[in-house]
Amino acid sequence: MAINKSNIFPEEVQELAALAKALGHPARIAILQALAQKQSCICGEIVEILPLSQATVSQHLKALKEAGLIKGEVEGVKSCYCLNLEYLKRMSPLLNQFFKNILSPGCC
């Protein structure tokens, strides 16, 4: 039986890893871009934007929502989604610091 040792890492590292995992599929990036471009909640239009089935889009939306990148609400038979700006604003400095640290001079 495998033991999950991710909790031995600092919380910031765990958060960055979860973010990277959520962004690890081109469809999820496309969904985030569509939501950012629309700058409002999108209800049902996401399936029309992507060349994927409704079920596949739903799976990607679920992963993005679980990661905290988007918020979603059910309105009758429709689900509406928008960017979770609070989360994105919190993660932006963490990402910037991460890249600043790994891109510092001294590496080959």
Three-class DSSP category at 62? helix
Q: Which one is predicted more confidently, 75 or 93?
A: 93
Q: Which one is predicted more confidently, 5 or 101?
A: 101
Q: Could you tell me which of 104, 22, 106 has the C-alpha nearest to residue 70?
A: 22
Residues 14-70 pLDDT 10s: 999 999 999 999 999 999 999 999 878 887 788 888 899 988 998 999 999 999 999
Mean pLDDT of 76-90: 89
Q: Taking 80 as the threshold, does the pLDDT of residue 2 lie above it?
A: no
What is the distance between the alpha carbons of residues 63 and 59, in angstroms, rounded to a whole number? 6
Angle, vertex CA 53, rays to CA 51 and CA 55, nearest 5: 145
Q: Taking 80 as the threshold, does the pLDDT of residue 75 lie above it?
A: no
Task: Name the amino acid, one letter, at 81.
Answer: Y
What is the distance between the alpha carbons of residues 20 and 49, in angstroms, rounded to a whole number? 23
Per-residue pLDDT, 41: 83
Banded pLDDT at 107 (limits 50, 70, 90) = low
Per-residue pLDDT, 40: 80
Whole-prediction pTM value? Answer: 0.83
What is the distance between the alpha carbons of residues 76 and 95, in angstroms, rounded to a whole number? 37
